[in-house]
Amino acid sequence: MKYRIHNIRYNSTLFVAALVLLFSTAMFGQKEPQYTQYMYNIGSFNPAYVGTVETPEIAGLYRAQWLDIPGAPRTFRFGVNVPFANEKVGMGFNVVNDQLGPFTQTYVDLAYSYQVNVSDDTKLSFGLDVGGSFLAVDFTKGNFEVENEPLLNEQTVNKFYPTIGAGTFLYSDNWYVGLSIPNFLTNGIYNDEVAVVVEDKVQFNFIGGYVFDLKEGLKLKPAFMVNYLQGAPVNLNVSSNFLINDVLTLGASYRLDNALSGLAGFQISSSTFIGYSYDYNTNGLGEFNNGSHEIILKFYLGKGGDRNRQPKTKNAKGKPKQIDTPRFF
């Protein structure tokens, strides 16, 4: 059986079924890569976050989506967040490689953030990232039949497009909210030829979370992430994580009308954290695959590089003080 998706016919029932169910608007249904552990990966989609960390961070992430479906998404991410000594400026670097069938898109960007004090214990950070997207299409990775699209008869397509994104991040010692747009440069970027392959739209990401200190050695953080892309359904993710003795993290996540996930994390040392998540599709796609796996590894450089460190603020006299509830994000 052959399914038609945006002028492309691909003879793989499972692959196209996956596209239809997740990307209701075909190839531009979700521009940015999808993450289940978004709460530990904020710097990848919000440049305002990069300067809010207390020590330099290095993160690596791998996501294998829809196991057993040919051409299913695979995502690799490498990111660095570096705060400067003045506690106002931060820099970040991201490389994200996203693969879907014959499409491979690699994003590279540099991020800059600047934050100001809103109150004694609340800060507002502004961020900007500049970079580019390398788009590669290899039609040798499938059996395609093309109608009235001469470009798609070529075996490969390689293009580069600039990207500019921005974000804000408002946070205190036990909560945060953020809004970001990964790329403003959409209209006119993809020329008429490549537009038959990829259509780009502005995506909005809205995130938030709150840390409840339930008792000594036990914290709870509910969090959410909303993705809005013009022409596609709103993507809502909600999660809840328990932190036990500042070492073990256990939780669950739900993606509306899409997937239910289990999450676990372990603070290997004061400078190393590893997290894992497994997604089970709750829509019709679940019968075609064995779920999605995601693993993240983070390194915290410098003295006291603990993910759950006690953040320092200043009291009314300008002297450092410790906060009872540590940051859990």
Give the helix/strand (H/E) hosting 15. helix 13-22
Q: Read off the pLDDT of residues 109-158 as tens digits, 9 standing for 90 and up.
A: 999 999 999 999 999 999 999 999 998 888 776 665 555 555 555 567 88
Least confident of 20-24, 220-224, 239-243, 247-251: 20-24
Q: Read off the pLDDT of residues 81-96 as tens digits, 9 standing for 90 and up.
A: 999 988 899 999 999 9
At 252, the pLDDT band (50, 70, 90 cuts) reads very high
The answer to whether 199 and 7 are in contact (CB under 8 A) is no
Residue in 196, 110, 89 with CA at minimum distance from that of residue 152: 196
124, two tokens = 């507002």
The pLDDT assigned to 328 comes to 73
Q: d(Cα 178, Cα 173) in Å, to the nearest integer?
A: 15
Higher-scoring residue by pLDDT: 267, 14: 267
Q: 5: how many CB neighbours lie within 10 A of its CB?
A: 15
What's the N-to-C CA distance of the chain in angstroms?
46
The pLDDT assigned to 305 comes to 41
What average pLDDT does the structure give for the chain? 80
Average pLDDT over residues 23-36: 55
Q: Read off the pLDDT of residues 274-306 as tens digits, 9 standing for 90 and up.
A: 999 999 989 877 777 888 999 999 999 975 444
CA dist list (Å): 59 to 14, 123, 194, 263: 32, 24, 32, 17
Least confident of 67-71, 141-145, 183-187: 141-145
Q: Can you give the pTM of this predicted structure?
A: 0.80
Higher-scoring residue by pLDDT: 312, 205: 205
Is 233's pLDDT higher than 50? yes
Is 193's pLDDT higher than 80? no
The pLDDT assigned to 218 comes to 96
Q: 127: how many CB neighbours lie within 10 A of its CB?
A: 26
The pLDDT assigned to 7 comes to 38
* Contacts made by residues 237-245, CB under 8 angstroms, sequence distance 24+: 237/36, 237/38, 239/39, 239/263, 241/39, 241/265, 241/328, 242/218, 243/218, 243/219, 243/308, 243/328, 244/217, 244/218, 245/217, 245/218
Least confident of 68-82, 265-279, 295-309: 295-309
Is 9's pLDDT higher than 70? no
Beta strands in 65-174 (DSSP E): 74-83, 89-100, 103-117, 123-138, 144-146, 156-171
